[in-house]
């Protein structure tokens, strides 16, 4: 296989050589999704959770123009704490590489790089999607269009209620991206357990997800992603009243501040984290760690022969 200009961390090179299961992790949640300095601690906890569940973590990002699959601890610390780390979607990768930039990869860029590196499972918090009022702004995350042609399982807690959840599900259908709930038929809304929409498919174990990965390879049809939506248990979600109030304020501030484009998601996340006295942060961290654990279990299940 061609590895293009991808550089592998030593731990990932070893894992690939030994045929051990690997889980891809994104870096935008570290650099732009979580407040400093909690972000560094959380980035390390995510990696440890993957290891605790039997797989090898490969956090993806760009350092000095080099696309890294498996950042080492010092590089993760750099992307967590440095100023001026770019937010890189797929379209930015070549420009950032040529400019020797430091950058954090979004779900779109991380998925594309993971697939190029033949890593089939990726854990994140929430997916990007169709923004509210996208009919006017055209603001739809490139996560969706990239996943239409990127064969990877993305373990996430659905999309944030800061987006238009229904429109996002419609676009995923149009784009041919498969969506299944993990032990549920309701699509989660990230901070909240239930995002308000039904799903056609439910998968109940890592082995069942591994069966889907195998079936996709067998058929050779439809090289898009599988979104595995893993909701928080009801007693761990953000209090819906706190959620609705915070979201309302955040959307008003957004309009008043004329914040648009790629700044929207980080702005709203920061607003939640600043105004809920740590509640939304704790929930956000729980989501990511649960997804990391499940992704690792899926990677392990799909590395072993079918039952
Ligand atoms: N959803 C979250 N937290 C995040 C993101 C999404 O709950 O940090 C990040 C992901 O990296 C995602 C990106 O790919 O935001 C989407 O940004 P945009 O809407 O600009 O495409
Ligand atoms: Mn956008």
Instruction: For residue range 118-132, list pLDDT tens digits in order.
Output: 999 999 999 999 998
Binding-site residue set for substrate: 87, 107, 141-143
Residue owning tokens 């599900």: 169
ipTM over 0.95: yes
Q: Is the pLDDT of residue 220 over 90?
A: no
Binding-site residue set for Mn(2+): 139
Report the SS3 class of residue 154. Answer: strand
Q: Could you give the CA distance from residue 140 to residue 305 in angstroms, rounded to a whole number?
A: 39
Q: Is the pLDDT of residue 41 over 80?
A: yes
pTM listed for this prediction = 0.96
Give ion ligand 2 contacts, CB < 5 A. Answer: 139
Closest C-alpha to ligand 1, atom 10: 106
Q: Is the pLDDT of residue 3 over 80?
A: no
Instruction: For residue range 257-306, list pLDDT tens digits in order.
Output: 989 888 998 999 999 999 999 999 999 999 999 999 999 999 999 997 76
Distance 267 CA to ligand 2 centre (A): 12
Burial class of 258 by CB neighbour count within 10 A (0 to 12, 13 to 18, 19+): exposed
Q: Which long-range contacts (CB under 8 A, 24 or more apart) does 268-275 make?
A: 268/160, 268/162, 269/32, 269/33, 269/34, 270/35, 271/246, 272/191, 272/246, 272/247, 273/34, 273/35, 274/35, 275/246, 275/249
Is the distance from CB of 191 to CB of 238 less than 8 angstroms? yes
Could you confirm whether 26 is annotated as catalytic?
A: yes
Closest C-alpha to ligand 1, atom 11: 106
To test the ligand 1 pocket, which listed residue (26, 30, 31, 33) has its Cβ within 8 A of the most ligand atoms? 33
Is the distance from CB of 181 to CB of 202 less than 8 angstroms? yes
Kindly give the number of the ligand 1 atom that is closest to the alpha carbon of 128: 16
Considering only CA atoms, which of 5, 107, 114, 1 is closest in space to residue 58?
A: 114
Instruction: For residue range 228-241, list pLDDT tens digits in order.
Output: 999 999 999 999 99
Kindly give the number of the ligand 1 atom that is closest to the alpha carbon of 32: 8
To test the ligand 1 pocket, which listed residue (27, 28, 168) has its Cβ within 8 A of the most ligand atoms? 28
Q: Is residue 126 lining ligand 1, measured as CB closer than 6 Å? A: yes
What pLDDT is attached to residue 4? Answer: 63
Classify strands 66-69 and 56-63 as parallel, antiparallel or unpaired.
Answer: antiparallel
Mean pLDDT of the chain: 95
What pLDDT is attached to residue 223? Answer: 79
Other beta carbons less than 10 A from residue 221's beta carbon = 6
Q: Is the pLDDT of residue 62 over 90?
A: yes
């Amino acid at each position: 296989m061609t590895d293009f200009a991808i550089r592998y961390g030593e731990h990932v090179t070893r894992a690939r050589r030994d045929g051990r299961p690997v889980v891809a992790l994104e870096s935008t949640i570290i650099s732009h999704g979580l407040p400093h300095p909690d972000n560094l601690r959380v980035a390390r906890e995510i990696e440890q959770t993957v290891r605790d569940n039997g797989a090898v973590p490969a956090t993806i990002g760009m350092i000095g123009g080099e696309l890294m699959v498996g950042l080492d601890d010092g590089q993760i610390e750099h992307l967590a704490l440095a100023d001026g780390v770019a937010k890189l979607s797929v379209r930015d990768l070549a420009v950032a590489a040529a400019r020797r930039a430091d950058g954090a990869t979004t779900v779109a860029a991380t998925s594309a790089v993971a697939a190029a590196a033949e890593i089939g499972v990726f854990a994140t918090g929430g997916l990007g999607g169709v923004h509210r009022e996208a009919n006017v702004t055209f603001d739809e995350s490139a996560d969706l269009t990239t996943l239409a042609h990127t064969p990877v399982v993305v373990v996430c807690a659905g999309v944030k209620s800061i987006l238009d959840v229904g429109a996002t599900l419609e676009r995923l259908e149009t784009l041919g991206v498969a969506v299944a709930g993990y032990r549920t038929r309701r699509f989660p809304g990230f901070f909240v357990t239930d995002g308000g929409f039904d799903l056609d498919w439910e998968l109940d174990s890592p082995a069942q997800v591994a069966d889907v990965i195998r079936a996709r390879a067998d058929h050779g049809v439809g090289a898009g992603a599988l979104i595995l939506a893993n909701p928080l248990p009801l007693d761990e979600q953000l209090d819906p009243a706190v959620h609705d109030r915070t979201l309302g304020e955040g959307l008003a501030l957004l309009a008043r501040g004329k914040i648009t484009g790629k700044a929207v998601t980080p702005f709203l996340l920061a607003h939640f984290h600043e105004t809920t006295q740590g509640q939304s942060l704790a929930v956000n961290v729980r989501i990511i760690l649960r997804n990391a654990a499940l992704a690792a279990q899926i990677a392990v299940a799909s590395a072993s022969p079918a039952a």
